[in-house]
């Protein structure tokens, strides 16, 4: 990857140390609040009504905002209340004082931590199969594994008077090896990328009991990629 943004995540521990040394940004936000650049964005789209629960929400994980950290325009901001709209691929920030939610200007977002989840803002490069957007970092080593979280709007006609509206989860996984990106989802995909490690992949999957079904795909990919990174 030629972009320097990924270098930030290869040394994530160093960044967190840097965050500890830059608490003046947190103090600045406490003083500035709505005047901070993070709170100058537009208001989010009004969906008209709240979705009933976390399983059908358009947010990536939960309707609740979580404490997070943003690398924004080269500066690290800590202790921010964040949430990710996975339907529109938009990052929201909430003012702790006024409670107003704002859309964070994606042009200046390099990366962020949403609770325990680690995201990068990928800016598309020529020839890449990835589109610009927010991707969760699952593994960073010589091999890198990312997940794209999307919530797809869905309507179900119950009868002539009722329509159930919800957002269904759609996940895509991407592997980066030697600066080349691949979409992955099965054991066969991994074998094509690592033709010299077919037996090792079979052995690992069989020994660890990895299941590449939709429900368990993330665990299987993460476990296999983690092993392949040691070879």
DSSP string, 18-48: HHHHTTHHHHHHHHHGGGSGGG-SPPPP--S
Q: What's this model's pTM, rounded to 2 decimal places?
A: 0.82
pLDDT at residue 207 is higher than 90: yes
Quick one: 30 and 70 in the same domain? yes
Q: Are residues 26 and 93 in the same domain?
A: yes
How many whole angstroms separate alpha carbon 205 and alpha carbon 189? 13
- Do 180 and 105 belong to one domain? yes
Do 37 and 106 lie in one domain? The reply is yes
Say which residue, 45 or 177, is predicted with more confidence.
Answer: 177
Residue 77 sits in the same domain as residue 165: yes
Last residue of a domain, one of 152, 167, 184: 184
Q: Looking at the structure, do residues 57 and 151 belong to the same domain, yes or no?
A: yes
158 and 223, same structural domain?
no
- 97 in the same domain as 203: no
- Enclosing domain of residue 161: 5-184
The string of DSSP letters for 113-165 reads EETTEEEEEE---TT-SPPSEEEEEEEESSEEEEEEEEEEEEEEEEETTEEEE
pLDDT in tens, 166-184: 889 999 999 999 999 999 9
- DSSP string over 48-65: SS--SSTTS-SBSS-SS-
Residues 96, 133: one domain?
A: yes
**Shared-domain flag, residues 169 and 180:** yes
């Amino acid at each position: 990857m030629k972009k320097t943004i990924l270098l930030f995540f290869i040394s994530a521990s160093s960044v967190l140390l840097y965050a500890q040394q830059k608490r003046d940004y947190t103090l600045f936000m406490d003083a500035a609040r709505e005047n901070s650049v993070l709170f100058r964005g537009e208001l989010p789209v009004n969906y008209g009504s709240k979705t009933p629960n976390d399983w059908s929400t358009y947010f990536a994980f939960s309707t609740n905002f979580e404490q997070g950290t943003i690398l924004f325009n080269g500066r690290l901001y800590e202790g921010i209340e964040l949430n990710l709209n996975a339907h529109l691929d938009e990052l929201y920030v909430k003012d702790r004082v006024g409670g107003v939610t704002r859309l964070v200007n994606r042009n200046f977002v390099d990366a962020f931590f949403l609770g325990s989840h680690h995201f990068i803002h990928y800016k598309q490069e020529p020839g890449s199969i990835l589109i610009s957007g927010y991707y969760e970092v699952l593994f960073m080593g010589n091999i890198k594994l990312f997940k794209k979280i999307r919530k797809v709007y869905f309507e179900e006609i119950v009868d002539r008077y009722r329509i159930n509206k919800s957002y269904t989860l759609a996940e895509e996984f991407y592997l980066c090896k030697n600066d080349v990106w691949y979409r992955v989802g099965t054991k066969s995909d991994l074998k094509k990328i690592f033709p010299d490690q077919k037996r090792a992949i079979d052995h690992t999957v069989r020994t660890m009991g990895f299941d590449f079904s939709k429900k368990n795909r993330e665990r299987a990919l993460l476990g296999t990629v983690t092993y392949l990174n040691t070879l």
